[in-house]
Amino acid sequence: MKRICIYGLGAVGGLMAARLAAAGVAVNAVARGPTLAAIQSNGIELRETISGRSVITRHALNAAEAPAELGVQDLVVLAVKTTGMQQVAAEIGPLLGKHTTVLSAMNGVPWWFLHGMDPELARIGLNTVDPQRVISQAIDPASVIGCVTHLSAAAPAPGVVQHVAGHRLIMGEPMGAVPGPRCEQTMNVFRTAGFEVEPADSIQREIWFKLWGNMTVNPISALTGATGDLIMADDLVRAFMSRCMLEAAAIGRRIGLPIEVDPEERHAVTSQLGAFRTSMLQDAEAGKPLELDALVAAVVEIARQLQIPTPQIDTLLGLARLKARVAGMY
């Protein structure tokens, strides 16, 4: 894979681009506004802590606003907010060729989620994340490799990315458990950049498990303005989160993605993160659109079509969506 493009230079996309460039990979990138200007002027700045020492490096990227300026790529990494995917679908065409692989590294339920799963599930629509299937028509699900990120990064300024913690990426093809050649190639690309890359037996199961925790703490943080430690310390809130998670686990069992963990076990892991600010809280504080559709509404949509009751998740979605609408973020 010689032609690699990172679509979106936020925290995760910026970290991937900087790490790849540091490993000697010629990286293309799609960016806009102040981020594009900063990259074109100074490259991307990577801030890391290595052996207890703060290290800052800069790396050149070939960045452009229009995908047509970059041409067909071997690998396109989608690291954008899910709220921007319809615009991406309208613009991404020039990057995609017959053999282009698309790595989907985003939060929540993606447009291709049901691709390759039980044929019975094909009748389920995902209009919340792929209205009128416009994204599926622009980006063929068969070209996709899913990626679940287990790391933390921040973008404190345009063209600057701060690695906070973790290096783990889980990748897999929606169609099966055994990584094919293009998945192996993609994993190797990121291994050369210092990421800990693991193949997934089922990438959808990995996505659902990560969603299982994020779908509650993220919208609750946006509703309340609370950091993770305060959310987890409130017994009533924690119990409400558990009830939502039990409903999501029931959906998971129905679609072949069982979760063999008790909500309290997941809460204990979240509690260890301390006073962290979720990505949705950061978006809410910045007045950006909230990823409620991919993290919560898609779960409700799947449940409705399978006739699985979700009164707790419904309440969470209704309150968070109303809050976001009033603030002009939905």
| b/e per residue 63-87 (b: at least 16 CB within 10 A) | bbeebeebebbbbbbbbbbbbbbbe
Q: Show the beta-strand stretches assigned E in the chain.
A: 4-7, 27-30, 44-50, 53-59, 62-64, 75-78, 101-104, 144-157, 160-172, 196-199
Q: What is the CA radius of gyration of the chain?
A: 19
CB-based contacts of 17, cutoff 8 Å, min separation 6: 6, 9, 27, 29, 44, 59, 61
81 is an active site residue: no
- Are 96 and 121 contacting, i.e. CB atoms less than 8 angstroms apart? no
User: How far lies 156's CA from each of 121, 153, 162, 228, in Å?
Assistant: 41, 10, 7, 20
Q: From the CB of residue 294, how many other CB atoms can be counted at a distance below 10 Å?
A: 26
Which of 2, 81, 98, 210 does the annotation list as catalytic? Answer: 210
Using CA atoms, how far apart are residues 17 and 46, in angstroms rounded to an integer? 10
- Are 13 and 7 contacting, i.e. CB atoms less than 8 angstroms apart? yes
- Are 88 and 7 contacting, i.e. CB atoms less than 8 angstroms apart? yes
User: How far lies 167's CA from each of 12, 16, 207, 243, in Å?
Assistant: 11, 10, 17, 31
User: How far lies 53's CA from each of 23, 40, 81, 157, 167, in Å?
Assistant: 20, 28, 31, 21, 17
Using CA atoms, how far apart are residues 292 and 22, in angstroms rounded to an integer? 34
Using CA atoms, how far apart are residues 278 and 39, in angstroms rounded to an integer? 26
Residues with a known catalytic role: 210
